[in-house]
């Protein structure tokens, strides 16, 4: 409950603040003023508590208000617990979603592996075996990097085995 007694004293506080830091005030007077203000604050607080208790006694005559006041803190705790439970459920759902995605990826990789194993040898492997059987003795197939310079690399490997392909491009 708000009490109007503190509203009118705002300008007084500003004046007190400037008096605290004026050069003419001594340390003892500052402590005395602090003690005075502390006592005033405690008195206002006690008055507010008494007013709050008086309002509470008036409301106890009406059963609904007294019950609503008693239940309100419990509802706040229930809301906080419900919020925590909802956050926990979201986290659990996210973990389950990641787990399902991981299992789906593993199943996809397993299906690819099974399909590859059932498909037999790769066409490239079959072709390489056939060509290597037809090659004369002493000749081999050398792999060449498959980039834009593969033709130059292949010619360089045939003409000068130690030369780089850039040497062949100059001719």
The domain segmentation of the chain, as residue ranges, is 1-60, 66-120, 135-169
pLDDT score of 6: 45
- What would the pLDDT profile of 68-83 be if each residue is shown by its tens digit? 455 555 455 777 888 8
Task: Say if pTM beats, i.e. exceeds, 0.85.
Answer: no
pLDDT score of 157: 79
How far apart CA 100 and CA 94 sit, in angstroms, is 10
- What would the pLDDT profile of 119-150 be if each residue is shown by its tens digit? 888 888 899 999 988 888 888 888 888 888 88
**Longest C-alpha distance within the chain, in Å?**
113
pLDDT score of 3: 46
- What would the pLDDT profile of 51-108 be if each residue is shown by its tens digit? 887 766 555 555 555 444 555 554 557 778 888 999 999 999 999 999 999 999 999 9
pLDDT score of 61: 53
How far apart CA 41 and CA 19 sit, in angstroms, is 19
Share of the chain above pLDDT 70, in %: 64
How far apart CA 27 and CA 95 sit, in angstroms, is 63
* Cβ within 8 Å of residue 51, ≥6 positions away: 1, 3
């Amino acid at each position: 409950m708000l009490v109007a007694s503190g509203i009118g004293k705002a300008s007084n506080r500003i004046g007190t603040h400037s008096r605290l830091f004026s050069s003419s005030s001594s340390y003892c007077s500052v402590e005395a003023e602090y003690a005075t203000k502390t006592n005033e604050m405690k008195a206002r607080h006690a008055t507010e508590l008494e007013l709050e208790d008086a309002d509470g006694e008036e409301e106890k005559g009406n059963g609904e208000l007294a019950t609503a006041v008693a239940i309100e803190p419990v509802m706040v705790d229930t809301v906080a617990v419900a919020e925590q439970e909802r956050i926990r459920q979201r986290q659990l759902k996210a973990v389950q979603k990641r787990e399902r995605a991981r299992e789906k990826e593993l199943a996809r990789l397993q299906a690819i592996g099974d399909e590859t194993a059932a498909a037999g040898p790769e066409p490239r492997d079959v072709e390489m075996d056939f060509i290597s059987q037809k090659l004369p003795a002493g000749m081999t197939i050398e792999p060449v990097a498959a980039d834009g310079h593969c033709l130059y690399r292949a010619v360089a490997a045939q003409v000068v085995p130690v030369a780089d392909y850039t040497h062949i491009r100059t001719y």
